[in-house]
Amino acid sequence: MQFLKVSTLAMACVAGGLMLSPASAQPQPQSQPPMGRQQMWLDHMCATDAAHDHMATMMEHRAQHLATILQLNPTQVAALKEVGDSRLKDRADFRASVCANKPDLSTFPARMAFIAKTMQHRADAFKAEADKLTAFYNGLDDRQKAAFEEMHMGMMMHRHGRDDMDGPMGGPGMDE
Protein backbone atom coordinates (compact mmCIF):
# COMPACT_ATOMS: atom_id res chain seq x y z
CA MET A 1 0.00 0.00 0.00
CA GLN A 2 2.86 2.36 0.91
CA PHE A 3 4.49 1.54 -2.45
CA LEU A 4 1.23 2.40 -4.27
CA LYS A 5 1.01 5.81 -2.57
CA VAL A 6 4.63 6.66 -3.40
CA SER A 7 4.20 5.46 -6.99
CA THR A 8 1.04 7.53 -7.42
CA LEU A 9 2.75 10.60 -5.97
CA ALA A 10 5.75 10.12 -8.29
CA MET A 11 3.48 9.69 -11.32
CA ALA A 12 1.55 12.83 -10.39
CA CYS A 13 4.79 14.82 -10.11
CA VAL A 14 6.03 13.55 -13.46
CA ALA A 15 2.69 14.24 -15.15
CA GLY A 16 2.53 17.70 -13.61
CA GLY A 17 6.06 18.43 -14.78
CA LEU A 18 5.22 17.32 -18.30
CA MET A 19 2.12 19.48 -18.33
CA LEU A 20 4.03 22.56 -17.24
CA SER A 21 7.04 22.04 -19.53
CA PRO A 22 5.39 23.01 -22.84
CA ALA A 23 3.88 26.15 -21.34
CA SER A 24 7.15 27.27 -19.79
CA ALA A 25 9.13 26.34 -22.89
CA GLN A 26 7.24 28.86 -25.03
CA PRO A 27 9.43 31.87 -25.82
CA GLN A 28 8.42 34.92 -23.90
CA PRO A 29 7.71 37.95 -26.11
CA GLN A 30 10.38 40.62 -25.76
CA SER A 31 9.59 44.28 -25.77
CA GLN A 32 12.80 44.95 -27.74
CA PRO A 33 14.85 42.64 -29.91
CA PRO A 34 18.22 41.64 -28.46
CA MET A 35 21.04 43.92 -29.51
CA GLY A 36 23.41 42.39 -32.03
CA ARG A 37 27.17 42.43 -31.89
CA GLN A 38 27.50 45.08 -34.61
CA GLN A 39 25.01 47.40 -32.88
CA MET A 40 26.83 47.06 -29.55
CA TRP A 41 30.15 47.81 -31.25
CA LEU A 42 28.65 50.82 -33.02
CA ASP A 43 27.08 52.15 -29.82
CA HIS A 44 30.38 51.75 -27.98
CA MET A 45 32.38 53.40 -30.74
CA CYS A 46 30.03 56.38 -30.98
CA ALA A 47 29.70 56.77 -27.21
CA THR A 48 33.44 56.78 -26.59
CA ASP A 49 34.82 60.27 -26.17
CA ALA A 50 37.73 60.94 -28.52
CA ALA A 51 39.75 62.24 -25.56
CA HIS A 52 39.42 58.83 -23.91
CA ASP A 53 40.27 56.85 -27.02
CA HIS A 54 42.40 53.90 -25.98
CA MET A 55 43.65 53.32 -29.52
CA ALA A 56 45.94 56.37 -29.53
CA THR A 57 47.54 55.33 -26.25
CA MET A 58 47.91 51.74 -27.39
CA MET A 59 49.46 52.77 -30.71
CA GLU A 60 51.92 55.10 -28.97
CA HIS A 61 52.95 52.28 -26.64
CA ARG A 62 53.41 49.88 -29.58
CA ALA A 63 55.46 52.47 -31.50
CA GLN A 64 57.75 53.02 -28.49
CA HIS A 65 58.13 49.28 -28.05
CA LEU A 66 58.94 48.83 -31.74
CA ALA A 67 61.42 51.73 -31.67
CA THR A 68 63.19 50.18 -28.68
CA ILE A 69 63.37 46.66 -30.08
CA LEU A 70 64.47 47.74 -33.56
CA GLN A 71 66.70 50.53 -32.23
CA LEU A 72 65.23 53.01 -34.68
CA ASN A 73 67.08 56.17 -35.62
CA PRO A 74 65.26 59.55 -35.66
CA THR A 75 64.39 59.29 -39.36
CA GLN A 76 62.88 55.84 -38.85
CA VAL A 77 60.95 57.03 -35.78
CA ALA A 78 59.50 59.87 -37.87
CA ALA A 79 58.44 57.41 -40.60
CA LEU A 80 56.79 55.16 -38.00
CA LYS A 81 55.03 58.18 -36.49
CA GLU A 82 53.69 59.08 -39.95
CA VAL A 83 52.16 55.60 -40.25
CA GLY A 84 50.60 55.89 -36.77
CA ASP A 85 49.28 59.39 -37.39
CA SER A 86 47.72 58.21 -40.65
CA ARG A 87 45.97 55.34 -38.85
CA LEU A 88 44.66 57.59 -36.09
CA LYS A 89 43.37 60.18 -38.55
CA ASP A 90 41.67 57.50 -40.61
CA ARG A 91 40.09 56.01 -37.51
CA ALA A 92 38.83 59.41 -36.33
CA ASP A 93 37.42 60.19 -39.80
CA PHE A 94 35.65 56.82 -39.93
CA ARG A 95 34.20 57.31 -36.47
CA ALA A 96 32.96 60.79 -37.35
CA SER A 97 31.34 59.68 -40.60
CA VAL A 98 29.60 56.67 -39.06
CA CYS A 99 28.50 58.35 -35.84
CA ALA A 100 27.18 61.46 -37.64
CA ASN A 101 24.66 59.25 -39.47
CA LYS A 102 24.48 56.26 -37.15
CA PRO A 103 22.86 53.40 -39.08
CA ASP A 104 20.04 51.29 -37.70
CA LEU A 105 21.39 47.74 -37.62
CA SER A 106 18.18 46.03 -36.55
CA THR A 107 17.65 44.24 -39.87
CA PHE A 108 19.81 41.75 -41.72
CA PRO A 109 20.06 43.87 -44.92
CA ALA A 110 21.09 46.92 -42.85
CA ARG A 111 23.79 44.92 -41.06
CA MET A 112 25.07 43.55 -44.36
CA ALA A 113 25.23 47.05 -45.87
CA PHE A 114 27.09 48.34 -42.81
CA ILE A 115 29.58 45.47 -42.93
CA ALA A 116 30.16 46.10 -46.64
CA LYS A 117 30.74 49.81 -45.93
CA THR A 118 33.17 48.97 -43.12
CA MET A 119 35.08 46.48 -45.26
CA GLN A 120 35.34 48.98 -48.12
CA HIS A 121 36.61 51.61 -45.70
CA ARG A 122 39.25 49.22 -44.37
CA ALA A 123 40.39 48.36 -47.89
CA ASP A 124 40.64 52.06 -48.80
CA ALA A 125 42.51 52.82 -45.56
CA PHE A 126 44.94 49.98 -46.22
CA LYS A 127 45.65 51.28 -49.73
CA ALA A 128 46.25 54.79 -48.38
CA GLU A 129 48.56 53.51 -45.65
CA ALA A 130 50.48 50.92 -47.66
CA ASP A 131 52.95 53.40 -49.19
CA LYS A 132 53.82 54.88 -45.78
CA LEU A 133 54.21 51.44 -44.27
CA THR A 134 56.37 50.28 -47.17
CA ALA A 135 58.53 53.41 -46.88
CA PHE A 136 59.03 52.72 -43.17
CA TYR A 137 59.98 49.09 -43.86
CA ASN A 138 62.33 50.03 -46.70
CA GLY A 139 64.09 52.46 -44.35
CA LEU A 140 65.12 49.63 -42.04
CA ASP A 141 68.53 48.00 -42.33
CA ASP A 142 68.88 44.23 -42.77
CA ARG A 143 69.19 43.54 -39.02
CA GLN A 144 66.08 45.62 -38.30
CA LYS A 145 64.14 43.96 -41.12
CA ALA A 146 65.01 40.51 -39.75
CA ALA A 147 63.87 41.54 -36.26
CA PHE A 148 60.70 43.11 -37.70
CA GLU A 149 59.89 39.93 -39.64
CA GLU A 150 60.44 37.82 -36.53
CA MET A 151 58.15 40.10 -34.51
CA HIS A 152 55.52 40.03 -37.24
CA MET A 153 55.51 36.23 -37.32
CA GLY A 154 55.16 36.15 -33.55
CA MET A 155 52.19 38.49 -33.71
CA MET A 156 50.59 36.41 -36.46
CA MET A 157 50.99 33.22 -34.44
CA HIS A 158 49.56 34.96 -31.37
CA ARG A 159 46.54 36.39 -33.21
CA HIS A 160 45.85 33.17 -35.10
CA GLY A 161 44.61 31.39 -31.98
CA ARG A 162 42.45 34.19 -30.65
CA ASP A 163 38.75 33.67 -29.98
CA ASP A 164 38.05 37.29 -29.15
CA MET A 165 38.48 38.89 -32.54
CA ASP A 166 37.73 42.58 -32.55
CA GLY A 167 35.67 44.84 -34.75
CA PRO A 168 32.12 44.70 -36.00
CA MET A 169 32.66 41.63 -38.14
CA GLY A 170 34.86 39.64 -35.83
CA GLY A 171 38.01 40.79 -37.57
CA PRO A 172 40.92 42.93 -36.64
CA GLY A 173 40.78 46.61 -37.21
CA MET A 174 38.65 49.37 -35.73
CA ASP A 175 38.58 47.58 -32.44
CA GLU A 176 38.08 49.79 -29.48
HEC states along the chain? CHHHHHHHHHHHHHHHHHHHHHHHHCCCCCCCCCCCHHHHHHHHHHHCCHHHCHHHHHHHHHHHHHHHHHCCCHHHHHHHHHHHHHHHHHHHHHHHHHHHCCCCCCCHHHHHHHHHHHHHHHHHHHHHHHHHHHHHHHCCCHHHHHHHHHHHHHHHHHHHCCCCCCCCCCCCCCCC
Tens digits of pLDDT across the chain (176 residues) = 555 454 554 444 444 444 444 444 455 445 444 557 777 877 777 876 654 567 788 888 989 999 999 999 999 999 999 999 988 888 888 888 888 888 888 889 988 998 899 899 999 998 888 999 999 999 999 999 999 988 876 555 544 444 444 444 444 444 43
What is the reported pTM?
0.61
Domain boundaries, the chain: 37-160
